[in-house]
Structure 1
C-alpha cells in the first residue's frame, strides 16, 4: 500500500479565468478500486492528465507509483495484436497475458490478428489485460464501457472487481456498483472521497441534499420573520420620532430616547437577518441543478407507426441481421438490445429512411416525422447559435435545455468541437428534444453522459411517455425505461 497525496492543487486551462480546481487537497490509497464521478465538464479527464504530468499546475501531487492511462493510444493498429501488447508491456510473460484474456473471455486467436480487425469490445478487453500486466502502476481507466454491449459490461466489471489499484471513470451505475469500493466525486464546490460503491455514495448524497434543503427552508422562514420584524420596528421608531413634533408640549428627550432604542433594536434584528443570510449562503453548495426536462411529440393519426415482418438486412452478400419482426406503437419505449455487430444500428438506419438492401416486409407510416440521435458526435463544430439555426430549432429553447443539463453560460461561447464527449452528446439530445416529431430514435444516447443527467433523461421519458426506440447498454437505464425489449 502507498498513498497518492494531492495538496493545494489549483489548475485552470490557458486563457481561462475560471479555475477547474482551487486549493484542492486529499489522499488516495493505491490499493483502492476507485470510482470517479462528476457532471460532464467538471474536470475528471483533466485530473487524470494532471496525474500523468501532461498539464502544468500549482500545488503538489506526490506518489510512489507510475500512472498508466486507458485507453492506450495504439500507434500501429495494423500490427498483430500480440505486437501491440508488446508495445504497451515490452517484457510481458505470455502465460500472464493468456490468464488475463481468459478472465475476460477473449480467445487466443485474437493475438494473431491485426489489432484494427478486432471489434471495439475485443480491443477494450485486450488493452485492459495488457495494462494490468504492468507492475507498480496505478491505472487511470477512462470510460471503458462506451464500446461495450451489456454482456461485455457485466464481464469487464467482474474482471475489475478482482483487481485493485485504479481510478475508473464511468457513468454506468450498475457497472460502478459491481467493481468499486470507494467513490471520488467532483461536486459543485469541492472534491470528496467516500467508502463504498456508487449506490452507497448516491444514498449519502441524497441524505445530505435533503438535510441542506430542510435547513435552507428553515433559514428562509427565519429570514422572512426577521425581515418582517425589522421593518415593523423600523416603522415604529420613525412614528415615535415624528411624535416629538406638532402635538403640543411633550417630553422630547424621552420620546427621542425611546425612538433611538427602537432603532437600535431594528439594527440588531437586521444584523441577525444578515447573519442568517450568510448562513444560508453556505448551504446548497453541492446540490446539483437537475431541473426537469420536457418533450412534446406530435400526435400521429394511427396507433401503429412502424412494422417489420421477417426483415433481414444485407451489406452486399453479408447478412447483418435476420428474421426481425416487431412493431412500434404510439407510447411505447422500445429498447433494441443485442451484442455489438448484431445489426441494431442497421435497423435504425432502415427505419430512419436510409436506403439499405433488405428482405421481408417493412412498413412505415406516411409523413412520419422522426427525430434521430446518432452515436457519432465527430461532425459537431461551430457555435451553438449557428448550430440551432442550421438545425431549424428554437435557439432559446435549445439553450434552456442545455442549461438544465448543467451547461454554464461560458460554455455557450465556445466552439462545440472543444466540448467534452458528454457535452457533445447533450447537444444532440437537446436538439432532439427541440424537434417536432412523432417518433424519437436514439442510438446509444448516454455514451459519456454523466449519471445525474442520465437520471434527468430517465425522469423525462417516464413522465412524458414519448414514443421512442433506443439502443442503450446502461442496464439500469433500460430496466427503468423500456416498456418493450427487442432482442437481436
Structure 2
C-alpha cells in the first residue's frame, strides 16, 4: 500500500490509499466522507467528484476548471479531439498526476480500476494464469477446502470431526457467496467474448501480439469488477463481434464507468452521460454520444444568438446614451446617466468560443472509370497448409461503397493487399475495369518513406503541384509552420494517417481501397473523413470495424466471416438486423439450420420489398414534417416582427426558431438520404 495525497487550492490535502495491482489495473481507495444527495427519498451516492480541476505542463495549460460528478451507476463517455486532455484527466483521477488546481474526491473504500492503452502483463504467465491472479483469494480458499476435506476424511475424534465440519461449512458458504464455483467459467466466458480461442488459453503471453495483449489486459480489468472502471480506448484491436460482446457486458455492469473512446456506435450503446473536453475545459451532458452532438449544436446556436442579441441591445443603448449626451441638457444628461447605470449593471455574456479548427478534405478523381470497376473470381490465400480464405468472388461497380466485414484473422486486410499488388493470391484471379485508377490506404502505412519530410512525402504524389497548393492542403490537415519539415519517422500514428490521406487526395484515384482508415483518428477527424468520402464520386472498397463509419457510408456489405460470404445491399444497421440472423441460421449444424439457395433468394427478395416500403413511408413522413415545420417557422417569424420591442419575448421566439431550423435540417438530411436510396432501386 502507498499513500497518495490530493492537494487542494489552499495547500491542504486529502489522503487517499492506493492498492495497486502491478500491471494495467490500478486500484484506488478513496478517503474522507463521500458526498451523497437525496433523490426522491433515496440516497444516490456520488462516487467521483471533480471540482475545478486544472493542470499545466510548465506555462502550457492542458485543462482548467474541469467540474463534474459521477454517481454509482453512471456510464459516462469522455470525448474530445486528440490532445484535448482526456488522458491527462484520467491520470489525475488515478493519482498518476496531481492537479495543480481544484479538488478531487473519490468515495471512501471504493476500488478504482484503470485500463491503460499500453498495459503491462507478466510475459511468463499463460493467458489463463494471468487471469487466475484476479481470483487468487478464491484459489487459496479452494486449497483450504481441499485441505479440510482431507482432514475430515482422516479425522477419528468426533469432537475434532465436528469442529472440522463446522469450519468446512463456513468456508464453503463463503466460497460460494464470493463466486468460487463460477470463476473458471467467468474467465472462459470473458476470454471467448474478447475473441480468444480455447486453444490459446494455455499460450504464453510472451508470444502474443500487441493487440492480443491489449485484449487480455481488458479481460483482466473486467474480471476485477472495480467500483469505478476507467477504460482508455477499450475497443482498439477488437473486431465487431468482440466489440458487441463488450457492449453487452458493460451495459449490464452495475457500477460506475468512465470511458475514453472514438467508437461512436459503442458510446451510443453503452453510455448515458457524456463529458466533453473542449478549449481546455469541460461540459457535462446527461445523454449518450448522439444526444450530446445534437444538444451541443443547439446550445452553441442558442449561446451565439443570445450573445448577438445582447450585443445589439448594448449597441442600441450606447447610441441612445451618446445621443442624450450630445443634447447636453440637464434632463438629457440625467437620462443618459440613468441608462448608463442600467447598462453597467447588465450581466454581460461572454462571446462563445469558436469550435476547434476542422480538417477540410475533398477527394478528386482525374477520370471517370467504367461501370465495372473490379471483378474477383475464386480468390484464395494460404500460408503453407493453413488456408486464410478461399473462393472469394464478387464484383464491384462504379460509385459503390463496399465494406468487407468479418472477425480478425479472416483475411480482409490480406485480400486488400492482394488487390493492391502487395501480395499474390494462392489461386484465382481478379481484373480491374476500364479507366480504373486505384488508390490504396494501408493501416500499417508501409508506403510512407520514413526519411522524407511531411512536405516532400505529400509532394512526391505529383511533382506538378505547386508549393502553395501543397502547403494549403497541409495546413488544412493541421500541419502548419515548421511542422511540415518534420521527418515521417518522428510522427505519431494519427499524424502518419493524415499524411497518407493527403497522398490519396492528390492521387486523383477513382477507386480507393481503405484498410481501417479511422484507426488513429479522433471523432472529429473521423467525421470529416466521412463527409469527404460521402462527397466522393468514385468507388470505395473498405475494411473497417467502425460501425458508425460503416453506417454512414456503406451501400453494400460483404461478410467474409461466413461461408459462403454474405453479400448485403445496405448499411450496417440493415445488415445487422437482417443478414446476421440469417447467417446464424445457415451456420447451425444439422439439416434444421440449412437454408437452400432458393429459399435464401426468396427471403432476400421479400426483405428488399419490405425495405423499399419502409423507405417510401419514411420519405412520406419526412415530407409531411418538412411542410409542418416550414409553416411553424412562418408563424414564429411573424410573431418576432410583432415582438420587436419585447426583448425577453424575442429571445424566447429566437430559441424556438433555432430549434425548429435545427430539426428542419435533420429532416431534410433524412429526406435526401432516403430519396437517394430509392433512386438506386
Q: TM-score range by the shorter chain?
A: 0.7 to 0.9
Q: 1:344 aligns with which of 400, 412, 417?
A: 412
In the alignment, which residue of structure 1 is the partner of 2:242?
152
Contact 1:312 1:358 in 2 (8 A): yes
Deviations 1:424-477 (A, max 9, x none): 433432332233323221111112422232222222222233322111112122
Deviations 1:112-141 (A, max 9, x none): 223356687765554333213336553221
Contact 1:138 1:166 in 2 (8 A): yes
**Does residue 444 in structure 1 map to residue 506 in structure 2?**
no
In the alignment, which residue of structure 2 is the partner of 1:241?
none
**Per the alignment, in what secondary structure is the counterpart of residue 335 of structure 1?**
strand
Give 5+ residue unaligned stretches, structure 2: 1-44, 140-179, 561-681
Matching of residues 405-484 of structure 1 within 5 Å: 421-484=493-556
Measured after TM superposition, the shift of residue 8 of structure 1 is 3.7
Number of aligned residue pairs: give it: 462
In the alignment, which residue of structure 1 is the partner of 2:189?
102
TM-score (norm 1): 0.78
Measured after TM superposition, the shift of residue 351 of structure 1 is 1.2
In the alignment, which residue of structure 2 is the partner of 1:69?
115
Cα pair distance change 1:132/1:92, threshold 3 Å? farther
Measured after TM superposition, the shift of residue 309 of structure 1 is 0.9
**Per the alignment, in what secondary structure is the counterpart of residue 145 of structure 1?**
coil
Deviations 1:73-111 (A, max 9, x none): 244446311222246665465732522542663665543
Measured after TM superposition, the shift of residue 55 of structure 1 is 3.2
In the alignment, which residue of structure 2 is the partner of 1:204?
295
Contact 1:89 1:131 in 2 (8 A): no
CA distance in 1, matches of 2:457, 2:137: 50
- Deviating more after overlay: 305-314 vs 49-58: 49-58
Measured after TM superposition, the shift of residue 363 of structure 1 is 1.4
Q: 1:327 aligns with which of 392, 395, 406?
A: 395
**Per the alignment, in what secondary structure is the counterpart of residue 114 of structure 2?**
strand
In the alignment, which residue of structure 1 is the partner of 2:175?
none
CA distance in 1, matches of 2:327, 2:70: 62
Cα pair distance change 1:168/1:358, threshold 3 Å? same
In the alignment, which residue of structure 2 is the partner of 1:240?
none
In the alignment, which residue of structure 2 is the partner of 1:43?
85
Contact 2:134 2:223 in 1 (8 A): no
**Per the alignment, in what secondary structure is the counterpart of residue 21 of structure 1?**
strand
Contact 1:69 1:140 in 2 (8 A): yes
Q: 2:66 aligns with which of 24, 35, 52?
A: 24
Matching of residues 5-404 of structure 1 within 5 Å: 5-13=49-57, 17-59=59-101, 60-63=103-106, 64=108, 65-71=111-117, 73-77=119-123, 79-86=125-132, 90-91=136-137, 95-96=182-183, 98-99=185-186, 101-102=188-189, 105=193, 109-115=199-205, 125-134=215-224, 136-163=226-253, 164-215=255-306, 218=309, 282-285=350-353, 287-290=355-358, 292-300=360-368, 302-364=370-432, 368-376=436-444, 384-389=454-459, 400=472, 404=476
**Per the alignment, in what secondary structure is the counterpart of residue 518 of structure 2?**
coil
Cα pair distance change 1:52/1:420, threshold 3 Å? farther
Give 5+ residue unaligned stretches, structure 1: 238-255
Contact 2:124 2:205 in 1 (8 A): yes
Contact 1:121 1:152 in 2 (8 A): no
Give the superposed CA RMSD: 4.4
Cα pair distance change 1:215/1:398, threshold 3 Å? farther
Deviations 1:365-403 (A, max 9, x none): 588543322222697868643543566586655665565
Bigger Rg, structure 1 or 2: 2
TM-score (norm 2): 0.58
Contact 1:171 1:448 in 2 (8 A): no
